[in-house]
Amino acid sequence: MKHRFSGFYAAILSGFADDGAFDEARQRALCAYVLRQDLDGLYVGGTTAEQTLMQISERITQLQVVAECAKPKQARLIAHVGTPSLRAAEILAKAASEASYDAISALPPDESHAARFDLVQDYYKAILQASGLPLFVYHYPSPARRAFSFEETSALLSMEGVAGIKFTSEDLYLFSRLRRAFPDRALLFGKDEIYAGGALFGADGGIGSTYNLVGGLYRAVHQCVEEANLDEAKRLQALSCELVVHLLGANLLPAIKRVLARRGVDCGPCRLPLGLGDPAAVKGLDDFIDSGVLDGFLN
């Protein structure tokens, strides 16, 4: 890993009060715990932070609070400023710059908001200008989200001011093509459960929700791949995959918060309508954590 943004970033959750209001104290408690992980920085305000359920003013406050928490640790900060409204995204991008973030990122507008690809490029150019910070484009081709082709992704990565990409996809073929085509861009892999695949094809690090809990696990996977210790890489990646299976079964974001709460980290509930899944799945998650197989990585 050689890029200035190489490393591992927790896509940090949001701290909420019991009534659902943004809670600065709980956000600080969460930051303190996550920053004890073996990480290089934080990715703030993304999907994991429930940003679609937050007001712009709350997101700005969160950017400011997390920046204050991260400064003593000298952790790098990437602000997710994406929102369907370009005007709102520009406001968030400017706020990230004012809070001394290192870079910004954004999910692209979907096709209902930007029917043509050139409008996506204009969106990214506008938030680049608003922040004056390096930009990470975001490839996350899940249902209802925009999927980029190799040609489109290449066009975005070639834009002035773009530092790299948050690549949250199982498409390792596309990822490997981008790695070869853009050796000078930071390719940060966003699929925790198959991070070893990203590392094998040249990831510069990763960004993920489970990094809130076991950030050091992914650094260990990466190191094993670099050292060609593939048996250990597979063993460690299997732990990540099993964790993700249990978290998804119990509903990912509330499930992560449950694990944190059981470890003494009070970051509050998720915003409604997000809630825990089936009780049997929640018990399965509890049993998996209590088994101790992740104790070497849980703080």
pLDDT, tens only, 41-62: 999 999 999 999 999 999 999 9
- Band the pLDDT of 212: cuts 50, 70, 90: very high
- Contact criterion met (CB below 8 Å) for 253 and 274: yes
Q: Give me the catalytic one of 166, 191, 195, 257.
A: 166
Whether residue 228 has pLDDT greater than 60: yes
d(CA 201, CA 175): 7
pLDDT of residue 114: 67
pLDDT of residue 145: 81
pLDDT of residue 229: 98
- pLDDT tens digit string along 77-126? 999 999 999 999 999 999 999 999 999 999 998 877 867 999 999 999 99
- Mean predicted confidence (pLDDT) in 232-247: 98
- Contact criterion met (CB below 8 Å) for 146 and 111: yes
Whether residue 132 has pLDDT greater than 60: yes
Region of poorest pLDDT, from 104-118, 127-141, 214-228, 230-244: 104-118
173 catalytically annotated: no
What is the domain partition of the chain in residue ranges?
7-228
CA 215 to chain centre: 11
What are φ and ψ of residue 147, in 5° steps? -110, 135
Bridge-partner residues for 165, per DSSP? 137, 187
Q: Give me the catalytic one of 123, 124, 138, 218.
A: 138
What are φ and ψ of residue 74, in 5° steps? 55, 35
SS3 179: helix
| Topology classification of domain 7-228 | TIM Barrel (3.20.20)
pLDDT of residue 1: 52
CA 245 to chain centre: 18
d(CA 209, CA 8): 11
Rounded CA Rg of the chain: 18
138 catalytically annotated: yes
The pLDDT > 70 percentage for the chain reads 99
- Mean predicted confidence (pLDDT) in 244-248: 98
pLDDT of residue 2: 78
